[in-house]
Amino acid sequence: MATRLGRGHCGAHLTLLFTVEDEAEEPEYQGSMGAGICLDHGVEAIAKGEEGGSSLTVSFLDGDYPSSMYEEVLDVLCSEMPEASELVWELTIRMGLPASQGFGMSASGAVAAAMAFQRAMGIPNEECLRRSFLVAHIVERRRSSGLGDTTALAAGGVERRTSAGSPYSGELLSNGPGKAEGWSEGNSVLLCWRKDTGAHTSTYIDDKGWKSKISAAGRSAMRVLGSGKWDRTRWKDLIDEAKTFSVESGLIEDVSRGELVSLVEDAISECGLEERVSALLCMLGESVVVLENDLGGRTENLEILSEKLGTLGIKTEISQVGRLV
């Protein structure tokens, strides 16, 4: 009996500002406009399929996580590719960052798993990529675990989303309603979070009041970021608009986000880095990303800050802006 093996990897995504566009009935047309950063760190999935039935066993290499999302990924994939339902599957997941912290790990995991399943079945690369983003987008919308992460990841790098929806759609997997573009310098970023915190995305995007405030702030930001050329010259614009969005949306005042930002900003001051780096909220967890104000800045600044934050009980990870897809 032949064993089929496939691997998928997808980087994480940091949403820095966004709108909620979920009025359409079809999930392919739901999503968000906004901007953010795709990372190298993310989720790796290894799929093993064998003939003899139809089942899925999910295991995690670095912690205990719910398997329901990965089961739904396979269900959606089977609706697109019935042959996937004729195998006994084992899926192994390695998480590069914590879940529910605003790092887009549900989208990353869904894309990686869909890739692994298809590669195990020998699906050509371009078809595999496009279907993986479509499947992940559908799963994200059904679970209210994300809006525009998959569209952002389909662009890569420092991205902006100018039209809501899935990046691919339809039987032929042609370009979908969602549109995004990205650029990348491969520069380093510092991720900061506190253990055992984080709120589910649906807490905000399914609430009428939050949706209204978030979307108004996001549309205001996109009036600045949504036009003109999108390249490294817009880095300062992104930082400025992300800061404004966190205030105008009210998200910086919710739960303990403001406290975390203050802790990070105090550490930045103590390290003498106020002019060199900026601390921005990651949406929609309880986490902060620290960016070099100058794209040619020194990674050593982030390493110094990481060490300082560690003494305050704040978890950190240095990652890099991901490549374009």
Structure tokens at 4: 């089929």
Instruction: Say what the alpha-carbon torsion angle 133, 135, 140, 143 is, to the nearest 10 degrees.
Output: -170
Indicate the average pLDDT of the chain: 95
**How many degrees, rounded to 5, is the angle at CA 282 between CA 277 and CA 283?**
155
Confidence of residue 138 (pLDDT cuts 50, 70, 90): very high
Chain mean position to CA 138: 15
Summarised one tens digit per residue, pLDDT across range 183-237 is 999 999 999 998 765 555 767 888 889 999 999 999 999 999 999 999 999 999 9
Count of beta carbons in the 10 Å neighbourhood of residue 117 = 31
The phi and psi torsions of 186 (rounded to 5 degrees) equal 65, 20
Q: What is the average per-residue pLDDT within 310-316?
A: 96
DSSP labels for 236-275?
A: HHHHHHHHHHHHHTSGGGSTTHHHHHHHHHHHHHHTT-TT
Judge whether residue 166 has pLDDT over 90.
yes
Asked if 126 contacts 50 with a C-beta cutoff of 8 angstroms, the reply is no
Q: What is the average per-residue pLDDT within 234-255?
A: 93
- At 167 the three-state DSSP class reads coil
Summarised one tens digit per residue, pLDDT across range 1-11 is 589 999 999 99
**Residue 166 identity:** S
* Predicted local distance difference test score (pLDDT) of residue 315: 96
Q: What is the average per-residue pLDDT within 298-312?
A: 95
298 CB contacts (<8 Å, ≥6 apart)?
A: 292
* Predicted local distance difference test score (pLDDT) of residue 253: 86
Confidence of residue 53 (pLDDT cuts 50, 70, 90): confident
* Predicted local distance difference test score (pLDDT) of residue 249: 95
Chain mean position to CA 245: 18
* Predicted local distance difference test score (pLDDT) of residue 247: 96
Summarised one tens digit per residue, pLDDT across range 118-134 is 999 999 999 999 999 99
* Predicted local distance difference test score (pLDDT) of residue 165: 98
Asked if 104 contacts 72 with a C-beta cutoff of 8 angstroms, the reply is no
Angstrom distance (rounded) from CA 13 to CA 151 = 10
pTM, two decimal places: 0.96
**Domain annotation for the chain: domains and CATH numbers:** 3-182 (3.30.230.10), 188-320 (3.30.70)
Judge whether residue 324 has pLDDT over 60.
yes
Q: Checking DSSP bridges between strand 179-183 and strand 34-51, what pairing results, if any?
A: unpaired
DSSP labels for 84-120?
A: GGGEEEEEEEEESS-SSSSS-HHHHHHHHHHHHHHHH
* Predicted local distance difference test score (pLDDT) of residue 203: 74
* Predicted local distance difference test score (pLDDT) of residue 200: 58
Judge whether residue 68 has pLDDT over 80.
yes
Helix (H) or strand (E) segment spanning residue 315: strand 315-320
Judge whether residue 298 has pLDDT over 90.
no
**How many degrees, rounded to 5, is the angle at CA 112 between CA 108 and CA 115?**
145
| Sequence-distant contacts of 52-56: CB under 8 A, at least 24 apart | 52/1, 52/88, 53/87, 53/88, 54/85, 54/86, 54/87, 54/88, 55/88, 55/89, 56/89, 56/90, 56/91
* Predicted local distance difference test score (pLDDT) of residue 196: 65
Count of beta carbons in the 10 Å neighbourhood of residue 65 = 18
Confidence of residue 296 (pLDDT cuts 50, 70, 90): confident
193 CB contacts (<8 Å, ≥6 apart)?
A: 98, 101, 102, 260, 285, 286, 287, 288, 314, 315, 316
Angstrom distance (rounded) from CA 132 to CA 150 = 9
* Predicted local distance difference test score (pLDDT) of residue 142: 95
